[in-house]
Structure formats: C-alpha cells, structure tokens
Amino acid sequence: MVTTVSRTDDVRARAEAALARSGVELGAVKGDALAARTPITGAELFGLRADTVEGVDRAVEAAHAAFLGWRSVPAPVRGALVKRFGELLGEHKEHLADLVTVEAGKIRSEALGEVQEMIDICDFAVGLSRQLYGRTMPSERPGHRLMETWHPLGVVGVISAFNFPVAVWAWNAAVALVCGDTVVWKPSELTPLTALACTALLDRAIAETGAPAHLNQIVLGGAEIGERLVDSPLVPLVSATGSTRMGRAVGPRVAARFGRSILELGGNNAAVVTPSADLDLTVNAAVFAAAGTAGQRCTTLRRLIVHDDVADAVVERLTAAYGRLPIGDPFQESTLVGPLVSEASYARMRSALDRAVEEGGTLCAGGERQLAEAAPGGYYVRPALVRMPAQTAVVREETFAPILYVLTYRDLDEAIRLHNDVPQGLSSGIFTADQREAERFLAVDGADCGIVNVNIGTSGAEIGGAFGGEKETGGGRESGSDAWRAYMRRATNTVNYSGRVALAQGVDFSQ
C-alpha cells in the first residue's frame, strides 16, 4: 500500500507555523548559510543562518559564565526550571511533532512519541533534582566521617543526530540542568528547525522561572562547528550521538584534553527467535523494530536469528507483513513507513542489498523505491527482508536503512555466538516461552549488549532505564537509572571530629 505525498509549499507552511507558535522569530534565524530541507519531498524549505567557529567559542564562554552562578542554585530550584520546560513541551507537543515530521520524516505517531520522551525525561529529572545522593562510608579511623559528594561538572556539549532530533538532546539537557550544568547544543545540520523550536521554549522557561540566561546555547552548522565544540577546554563533557566513524573522531579528541565523553554510536541489533516463541507476538514486534522510522534508528532490528524449526514460518509471515506496510507521506495517519532522510541513504541501502545478494543472500521482500513520480526528490522504499546463509561481511556492518537479515541456528549457544559476533553492542532481544532460554540470554555469557530484552523488540527504550551500549556502540549511558553521575564530579570527603590526628592504615608520623 502506497499513500500520497504533501506538496513542498504545504510542508513549508506547516514548518513556519510550528516555528512561530513555538516562539521562534523567523526573521532572526533565516539566512543563506544552511539549508532547511524536508525528506518528505526532498526540497529545500528555506535558508538559515549558521554559526562560525568564533561563534562556538562565544556560545561556550556564555554557557560557562552562566554555569558559575547556576552551580550554586539548589538542585530542587534547578528542577523548577526543568518542570516548567516540560509543561511548555506539553503545550507545544503538536507543533514540535510537526517539525520532527517535516525534518526527519517520522510518521505522526513516532513524532508525537519523540516529543513525549522529552516530557518524560523532564518529569524524571525533576524527581532527580531531590535525589542526587552521595554515600557515607564507615571510616577505619575513630572520630572520622567518610563520605562522597557530587558537584556540577560544567558546560556539557551535546551533538545530536537527525533521527532523534529532539529527544536525545532532552535526555542530556534535562539531566544536565538539574545537575547544575549548562549546555551547548550542536544539532544535526539536517534538523536545525526542531532545535530552534526547543531552544525557544527552553529560553521561555528560563525567563519565566528567573533562571540565569544562556543556560542552553545552540550552534548551527556542519562538522567544523562540532569539532570546535569537541576541542573546547571549557567543555568538560561531550555527549555525542552518531555513527561509529564519528565516535572514532570525537572520542580521542576529547580524551586528548582529558575531557569526558558519552558516546552513543552504531547499533547492529539482533533478536533470537526460539522454537517456543509466540510467532504472532514475534512478527509484530520485529516489523516495528525493523521498519519503524524507515529503519533509521540506532536500535533498529537489523538481524533476526531464527531457529531452523520455525525459520520458514517466520520468513513467510514477515514477507506478508512487509507487503502490507503503508508507505508514504508521514503526515498521513495511515502511513507506517515514511521516507529515508536523503538520496545518499537510499544509495547505501541499495549497495548493501546488492552486496547481500553477492554474498549468497536471497531477497524475500522489499528494497524497491516507491513514489518516485509523485516525489522525485523523496526517497521512499519498501523495507527489505533478506535471508542469509551465514553472517557475512555486509551483515556485520550497520546499514542505516530498513534491511532485516534473517539467519538460522540449531542450538541456543550457536544463536548467542551469532548474536555477539558483530562489532556493535547496543540493543538485543530474545523471543521465547522458555524461562531457561530467557535467563541464559540475560546471563553474563549471554547477549553482550547494553540493552537486553525478552519478548520485546530492540527499539522502544524507556526513560527510566539507562540507555547505551558496548563495544563500538561507545559505552556511554544517558537518560535514566544513575546516568546522572556522568554529568557531575565526585568528591570524597573526610571529616575529622576526634580532636587528634589519626592516619590511615595505622601510620605513625609523630616522631
């Protein structure tokens, strides 16, 4: 099923209206240095200003100056700012979702879901503002108290990717702000409009709550802008989301100046399907995980490792489901698969499919372009299903497009070996009705990912759990659990109330 595509003029009008209602002054941000484009039609909407490297320096200096005062504001008071920001996000949820769809091509429900993630992380961070706990430990010296305290870190540089243009920034910004940090945000050059709208709403919350100005700064531009932010000595923490290739560049540069980094990089996510799996549940979960966001999530399901006994049935059901997926205009309520973000993404998808066939794969469904006449500049594709004889070179790579490779196995140990035999380690899952199989997959010698699920797909992480992965995924953690610790510095404190000097380990220095 293929739906229609909106006209560029309609998309442009929708974007301009959403920006204005979010508080963005269009005249102040328009320019000719950066193009705001939409993957819905592939057309340019209008031009925007961009920052220079000197502008990055000024933004960092302003955020650092704001930090010097913000760090002393009590954390619950900092939480009041984030609470107000969350309320504004709720009031402007529809407008922000419009911009997410315009720029990233997400279908309506996914765009609204992404904005809801921002609201949820604000709720989480407000509660966190009263729970930035340190420990008290027993001292080996009498009359002494040993404890740890946590203090704000400084300016947090956030580099976000196009596929989650607002949620990932919010994961970082909401937590950083309640921790007493300030933020400089470099959004993807593919999604500047969403960043401008979010910044306007946060600036409004800052003004309404009496918080210091410049707590959040935005810098627009290409790679040179991100590089300047990464190299700044006034940015103790860089949180970067993107490809493994990008992480290989960012990580060493931050480490060279002894900064910290949170890296959320590639994912080549897999799910194991056992003979006891509920196939209705499995197929429904797999289709969303593989085809959602047109396969452009870091948590997208890219490999399905299926037991020989049920492989044919699973492939048959998936092939039928892929044939029914409504593809087209993401603003249409019936659409489930929107466009790829660019022609380059489509070219990479076609190249990967050609390689898969060369390496012995069988294309079972999808891969063809849709709506080429209705939207010559838009790249709509039917998600592809490929049955592979082995985990070949192309399968071990992440292709950021809707390609699902199906592999088979005979016993669970073999399935786990296949699962782990890729460089990436973000998200994983197993579909089973056998508790022993589930526990084996969750065990220390089971799946080697940062996110390990049972009877659920690889995408759809919740705010309350720390998000991130291992190996070439980068090892960083954002959002829930104790991820807040990455945004603060720890101090170990000893208080001597004994009235005498008592050294550790019984050392006597009195002579």
Which are the contacts of 436, defined by CB distance < 8 A and separation ≥ 6? none
Catalytic residue among 189, 264, 398, 478: 264
Q: What are residue 477's phi and psi, to 5 degrees?
A: -140, 135
Determine the Cα–Cα distance for residues 278 and 286; give it in Å rounded to an integer: 12
| Cβ-based neighbour number of residue 142 at 10 Å | 8
Ramachandran area for residue 258 (φ above 0: left; ψ -120 to 50: alpha; else beta): left
Give SS3 for 339: coil
User: What's the half-sphere exposure (Cβ side, CA atoms, 13 Å) at 505?
Assistant: 2
Q: Are 318 and 404 within 8 A, CB to CB?
A: yes
Question: What DSSP string runs through 122-172?
Answer: HHHHHHHTT-----EE--SSTTEEEEEEEEE--EEEEE--SSSTTHHHHHH
Q: Tell me the three-class secondary structure of 428-478, residue by residue.
A: EEEECCCHHHHHHHHCCCCCCCCEEEECCCCCCCCCCCEECCEECCCCCCE
CA distance 155 to 234: 7
Look up residue 65 and give its two tokens: 């100056």
Beta bridge partners of 216: 183
- Annotation marks residue 343 as catalytic: no
DSSP annotation string for 17-80: HHHHHTT--HHHHEEEEEEEE-TTT--EEEEE----HHHHHHHHHHHHHHHHHHTTS-HHHHHH
Active site amino acids:
264
